[in-house]
Chains A and B, each alone.
Chain A
């Protein structure tokens, strides 16, 4: 396309020559012609544009570019016109040979100078013919006047030159076509000038073969006029005179016969003159020009094998492909994509074009670049390096320079232990600062760091901490629970170690280090009864009321003895009942021991108390081998256990009151046993060692379960009145709640105490439990156990009861709940017992 346009510039390039030769009258018409041409060119352009759009889809910009190219080509052509002569001179011998060979074809002797003019004229003629053809072919309506004037011009022009040069020009048109086709010469790959031809306008009017011959002689050979001075006749019947044939010298030179095919070269093989045929010369010429040596026309016209025209006999009878008439799916997909993009706003149709200067973003050099960037989701910026400080300067102030000691200390310390990995150094100028010697190592380490320790995006949990806390009911809603110390029972000397409240809730029994068991009136705090049972100030370790109502039996242990007392505070009926219960076993004890125990020593001896003890209310004394630390009654009141941790396999003994009998349930030692307790209603025995709480089924005599509170040393445990939950207290400050249905591990571990937990206790009626600790505090908790097995127990800390003073790092030693009320009894190392009421 762009090359085709190059045909255009020929016309203005040739114009000055024609205008120079034409008369003034002609000049005016020429000018008019030029004036008229401008719109035609425009029209031409437009037509071409239309074509372009139809065929190739080029757009306006490229057409404009082509116009610009046009202008450039004009100047090129002018240069070429100047150079043309030079290049001809330059060519020398071969050129001359070629032109001679051409001139031989021509009938007349022609001057070489005339060739140019003739050529020009011919070209002009071609030009005009072309012009006319173009105009006629194209837009007739607009240029009709121009074409008329052009026709006139042509007639005048032809008449003017017909006499002198018509024949020449006619004959030379074909022969000089090669030359006229060469636009200019360039240096070829072989260093020789290589002709660049004009682009050929493949328009049919460019072919002048159908130009009407200027036949002046009719159908007579031209040689017939050789002997006449004229060569033909013009349209008016007048003779067309033969042009002059040059001077005599030229004739002479012409007469010197140059043998045909003379080259001036000598054939090396034969020694004769090398003669080239015409075809050979043509070939050499083509080779010289770097053209295709074969007989190939590079500019053959295109045969439109396949065109829009429906041929009668088409080359291919293949049916029309489907894609011609079926809508393209691919295109439909693309359109859907585009529509989607438009809907989503990714493509904005008719968006004003952003100018390049607008596209150029403006950067704030001083802004923190990290903040403005919208980082990729997975992009984690590397942590910023700390900004250099004064001592990292190449020229730090003097005070930053290390002293000698510091330098030596720095050198002696391990690289890992250094506070900083450089020593401040001073340089006179930046130019003297050496290369950073750690560069490679540092880069390597940083890369290694990035590779081995990839940074991980950690999502911050944006959760309100309060929402994570369990929704516990307010303690206000869980009343009653003990909140205040109402009664203090004073009287014991030394620590009070044991406490028990009788089933009516009126009589509180305590035992202490002073070896006494005391009974108090609960409401008033009045000491009602006292018995000194411990020999030699042996501490009363445990005091427990019998669960049997109206029996009034109080079991107390001091040292290795267990005392069963009947405090004289009850009515006669109760007292007699108790006496009968205790006395019933004397007869059994007198009987011989069963056979299997006959060789063994009896674990315990049931003896009658001394007179002194009997006067104090003690009815039975059981002498064990080791110190009995704890007593626990069976719910029926006939059995009770005594725990002596040092007793090895006899650490837990089960005593039976009705028969005055003692059994040892374990053959082997189970470790240091802390507590033992009967299940509230099942035939089970819970035994706490230092680490575990073991549950034995007494009916099958097997271990049912072993709870692992996770404590190092359990101090106490208690069984929920429903039997399915156990709380333990340990010397390592923990209280654990075990749900036997859940696991052997604690359901909840409560760490509220700051010192060892001494005792834990469930309320028998209310959902309360408490723990007493060596920090002198009692923590009261709410603990609801639901009948619904799916619901876990609800534990709510309710109250910290502060009142006991810590004596010798011992605080609260034992606690007991009132049988009915939410009242709590506690005894402590401060020698008092306290009643905490709601």
Chain B
């Protein structure tokens, strides 16, 4: 269909609307490019209507949802409301940029745990690998579990004496977990056909989950390890301790420095606690500059020698991991609870206890740049995860029981994922991970890991 025909069709089909505005449509995605001819569209059109127009112009067989941006800002309202809000005239030409839309994530599955799920992680594995168990969850019962996509526990890692606070995939064969028992443990994932591993795995039963109890233990924090981040390239780990320290560790157990002489070796009343003197290694360095419990830590996605940490003392600190020195400190107004990076935008997203997500530019020259605040949550924002597909999007988990999907170009959240389980009116979500293959995985107070996924993308991907 020619452009003129499309214009006729649009104008004839929607001729009953009051006003029209001239738009131009552009896209960065060459596959969906349309001729850059101004169009008249009704002012009442929203995203869906504009998406229809583009689909009409493209003459696609199946409609592809698009999102529209005006001046790098997502259009969340009708065109009429937009120009009213911005004080524009309907006689101006609006330049609309459109991108493929992320479909609203729908509920796929939820995996039940015996206790609160504190943290989740997913490793990207080819979907063809049926035996893979890409989903990792840390639970308040102190056990780390891996799950396959069919919803069964593949392996359990038991050894923490306190609730597990954070879990991460180190690589396909290793997971790392941080716990309230102040220790960090690296576990080797048992492989079904690799049972002959000398000391790491114990297969207890072929039909049940494989339980692993031995691990490489790292100690050094004096209080709960709240968060952990791994960088496979540099074989480094960062840990966030409630003792206001950021720990830098190596994932190579043998390279790790020995742990400081633990007081647990001294005489203690043996009645009160199980004496499991675990051999452990210490951190490369403990970076103590925060004045409050550190709640989140990440590596810079582009540079493995830079780490960021957020703390309840309202600050975001940038660390040079080579020297272990503090590079920069950003102070905000509220205690911060979580952090993630948007590398393409050079932004750090941090979730705060004041129920919002703030965006900071960590670069030193950007001191004066204003931070953006994304408001929508109604309780602590405790976990953030960047979208694997969009540079602008990320998901956030909050104690208000929802996971929200954000686009930094829009002030409001794109989608809200609530908990499927109706056990409690308010089931806090403690952890979220957005995986390309699995979707948005979140775990929380309802003792479940919930998987949500926007299904429309697969169609588009297949079409590509």
- Residues of A in contact with B (beta carbons under 8 Å apart): 480, 484, 486-488, 504-506, 521, 523-526, 528, 568-576, 611, 614-615, 617, 820-821, 837-838
Whether B380 pairs with A614 at a CB distance below 8 angstroms is no
Q: Is the CB of B223 within 8 A of A615?
A: no
A506 touches B263 (CB 8 A): no
Minimum Cβ distance to chain A for residue B393 (Å): 26
B310 to chain A, nearest CB (A): 13
Would you call A571 and B430 a contact (CB within 8 A)? no
A572 neighbours in B (Cβ, 8 Å): 262-264, 266, 268
Residue on A nearest B244 in the bound complex, by CB: A504
Contact A837 B353 (CB under 8 A): yes
Task: Report yes or no: A523 in contact with B337, Cβ–Cβ below 8 A.
Answer: yes
Q: Is the CB of A837 within 8 A of B428?
A: no
Which of B240-296 touch A at CB < 8 Å?
242-243, 262-264, 266, 268-269, 271-273, 292-293, 295
Closest to B115 in A: A526
B399 at the interface (CB under 8 A from A): yes
A838, B355: Cα distance in complex, Å? 9
Q: With A486-B399, A837-B353 as given contacts, are A505 and B312 in contact (CB-CB < 8 Å)?
A: yes
A-B contact pairs, 17 of them (CB 8 A): A480-B333, A484-B378, A487-B399, A488-B426, A504-B242, A506-B223, A506-B293, A524-B118, A524-B430, A525-B428, A526-B163, A573-B222, A576-B263, A576-B266, A611-B271, A821-B353, A838-B354
Quick one: which of B284-316 are within 8 Å of A by CB?
292-293, 295, 312-313
On chain B, the residues within 8 Å of A506 by CB distance are 223-224, 242, 293
Chain A min CB distance to B265 (Å)? 9
Chain B residues with CB below 8 A from A488, complex form = 426
Whether A505 lies near B292 (C-beta < 8 A) is yes
In the complex formed, the residue of B with least CB distance to A566 is B272
- Candidates A526, A576, A837; contact of B140 at CB < 8 Å: A526
Check: B134 CB closer than 8 A to any chain A CB: no
Contact A528 B399 (CB under 8 A): no
B116 interface hit (Cβ, 8 Å): yes
* B255, chain A: closest CB distance, angstroms: 25
Report B's interface with A, CB cutoff 8 A. 116, 118, 140, 163, 180, 182, 221-224, 242-243, 262-264, 266, 268-269, 271-273, 292-293, 295, 312-313, 333-335, 337, 353-355, 378-380, 382, 399, 426, 428, 430, 445
Q: Do A570 and B273 touch (CB < 8 A)?
A: no
- Taking CB atoms, residues of chain B closer than 8 Å to A480 are 333-334
Complex Cα spacing A820 to B264, Å: 31
Complex alpha-carbon distance, A574 and B268, angstroms = 13
Q: Which 5 A-B pairs have the closest CB atoms?
A: A572-B263, A571-B222, A572-B264, A573-B263, A486-B379
Question: Given that A486-B380, A524-B430 are known contacts, is A576 also in contact with B292, CB under 8 Å in the complex?
Answer: no
User: Chain A's nearest CB lies how many Å from the CB of B147?
Assistant: 22
A526–B223 touching, CB < 8 Å: no
A523-B382, A526-B140 known; A571-B182 Cβ under 8 A = yes
Nearest opposing residue in chain A for B264, CB measure: A572
CB distance B223 to A570 under 8 Å?
yes
Partner of B222, one of A568, A574, A617: A574
A576–B265 alpha-carbon span in the complex (Å): 11
What would 9 more interface pairs be, CB under 8 Å, given A486-B380, A576-B268, A821-B335?
Answer: A486-B399, A487-B399, A504-B223, A505-B312, A524-B430, A524-B445, A568-B272, A572-B263, A614-B271
Q: Which residue of B lies closest to A479 (CB)?
A: B333
In contact, B354 and A523 (Cβ under 8 angstroms): no
> What are the residues of chain B within 8 A of A568 when measuring CB–CB?
272-273
Cβ-defined contact, A524 with B428, below 8 A? yes
- Which residues of chain A come closer than 8 Å to B264, judged between CB atoms? 572
Q: A665 to B217: give the CA distance in the assembly, Å.
A: 52
A577 CB to closest chain B CB, in angstroms? 9
User: Quick check: A486 and B353 within 8 Å, CB to CB?
Assistant: yes
Taken together as a complex, chains A and B put the C-alpha atoms of A838 and B314 apart, in Å, by: 13
Q: CB within 8 A of B180: which of A486, A528, A576, A820? A: A528
A579 to B222 alpha-carbon distance, docked (Å): 17
Query: How close is A803's CB to chain B, nearest CB, in angstroms?
Result: 13
Residues of chain A within 8 A of B337, CB atoms compared: 523
- A165 vs B259: C-alpha distance in the bound complex, in angstroms? 180
Q: A504-B293, A506-B223, A506-B242 are in contact. Are A617 and B263 (CB under 8 A)?
A: no
Q: Are A523 and B380 in contact (CB under 8 A)?
A: yes
Shortest CB–CB separation between residue A777 and chain B, in angstroms? Answer: 21
Q: Which residues of B contact A484 (CB under 8 A)?
A: 355, 378
**Known contacts A486-B399, A506-B224; A837 and B354 CB within 8 A of each other:** yes
**Cβ A571 vs Cβ B353 within 8 A:** no
CB contacts (< 8 Å) of B378 on chain A: these are 484
Contact check, A615 vs B271: say whether CB atoms are below 8 A apart: yes
| Nearest Cβ on chain B to A755's Cβ, whole angstroms | 27
Closest A residue to B353 by CB, please name it. A837
Distance A526 CA – B162 CA, assembled complex (angstroms): 12
In Å, the complex CA distance between A820 and B182 comes to 23
Q: How far is the CB of B146 from chain A (nearest CB, A)?
A: 23
Query: What is the chain B residue whose CB lies nearest that of A550?
Result: B222
Q: Please, which residues of chain A bring their CB within 8 A of the CB of B426?
A: 488
Tell me which residues across on chain A come within 8 A of B118, comparing CB atoms: 524
Chain A residues near B182 (CB, 8 Å)? 571
A526-B271 contact given A486-B379, A837-B354, CB 8 Å threshold: no
Whole-angstrom CA separation of A525 from B382 in the bound complex: 13
Closest chain A residue to B293, Cβ basis: A506
B183 to chain A, nearest CB (A): 10
Complex contacts, B333 vs chain A, CB 8 Å: 480
A-chain residues with CB within 8 Å of residue B242 when the two chains form the complex: 504, 506
- A806–B224 Cα distance when bound, in Å, is 35
A820 pairs with B292, CB closer than 8 A: yes
Could you tell me the distance in whole angstroms from the C-beta of A303 to the nearest C-beta in chain B?
114
Measured CA separation A485–B237 after assembly (Å): 35
Nearest Cβ distance between residue B74 and chain A, in whole angstroms? 28
Partner of B272, one of A526, A573, A615: A615
Q: Is the CB of A617 within 8 A of B116?
A: no
CA of A570 to CA of B334, assembled, Å: 26
Question: For the complex, what is the distance from the CA of A528 to the CA of B162, rounded to whole Å?
Answer: 9
A369 to B163, CA, bound (A): 92
Q: How far apart sit A676 and B334, CA to CA, in the bound complex (Å)?
A: 34
Query: Bound complex: CA of A628 vs CA of B427, how far in Å?
Result: 38
